[in-house]
């Protein structure tokens, strides 16, 4: 607690409660966001994540192994998601002309259209569900705090 300029360390219950609120707030927001994306675009969270990563990448393509790693999917899990995206004409697998060991996941024209619209919808929902209640400054501070935690606790820190 904080009283008259004196700061004390949070007790065990308080810090555990803070973290619980972070988790609960994230889950409630993510569930609402992904529910709306699924309803509007028929995209599961992993498919949406992959499309957003591709739409933001140069030439709308990434090596499949890198994409699987960035999306935190196992090789088998990524293959299943990629197969569904290929079947829906959202991505295509393109072998590298420079390295035969590399296959790219590339957005199709249809995939680029869907990914662009889904990304815009995501931004609109986040403006409503995060930016409006928190404001610009708190939203930016939240993002910076999460970036710090990712850096300190992420796989690269191990």
Give, to the nearest 10 degrees, the angle between helix 109-126 and helix 12-41. 140
Q: What's the token pair of residue 106? A: 């590339």
Kindly give the parts of the chain with pLDDT less than 50.
Answer: 157-158
Residue 71 lies in a domain: yes
Instruction: Give the per-residue pLDDT at 155.
Output: 66
Residue 8 lies in a domain: no
Using DSSP's 3-state secondary structure scheme, residue 130 falls into helix
Give me the phi and psi of 73, to 5 degrees please. Answer: -115, 145
Residue 23 lies in a domain: yes
Residue 62 lies in a domain: yes
Instruction: Give the per-residue pLDDT at 75.
Output: 84
Average model confidence (pLDDT) across the chain: 92
Residue 110 lies in a domain: yes
What total number of domains does the chain contain?
A: 1
For the beta carbon of residue 15, count every other beta carbon within 10 angstroms. 11
Dihedral in degrees, nearest 10, Cα atoms 85, 88, 94, 100: 50
Instruction: Give the per-residue pLDDT at 132.
Output: 96
Residue 11 lies in a domain: no
Give me the phi and psi of 103, to 5 degrees please. Answer: -125, 135
Strand order in the sheet with 61-63: 61-63, 103-107, 91-95
Residue 142 lies in a domain: no
| CATH code of 25's domain | 1.10.10.10
Residue 155 lies in a domain: no
Domain residues for the domain of 71 are 19-137
């Amino acid at each position: 607690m904080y009283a008259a300029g004196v700061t004390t360390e949070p007790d065990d219950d308080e810090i555990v409660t803070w973290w619980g609120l972070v988790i609960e707030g994230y889950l409630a927001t993510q569930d609402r966001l992904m529910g709306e994306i699924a309803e509007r675009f028929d995209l599961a969270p992993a498919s949406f994540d992959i499309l957003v990563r591709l739409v933001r990448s140069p030439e709308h393509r990434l090596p499949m192994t890198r994409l699987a790693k960035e999306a935190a999917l196992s090789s088998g899990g990524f293959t299943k998601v990629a197969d569904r995206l290929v079947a829906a004409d959202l991505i295509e697998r393109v072998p590298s002309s420079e390295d035969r060991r590399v296959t790219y996941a590339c957005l199709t024209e249809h995939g680029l259209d869907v990914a662009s619209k889904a990304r815009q919808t995501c931004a609109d929902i986040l403006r409503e569900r995060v930016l409006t209640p928190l404001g610009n400054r708190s939203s930016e501070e939240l993002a910076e705090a999460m970036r710090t935690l990712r850096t300190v606790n992420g796989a690269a820190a191990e």
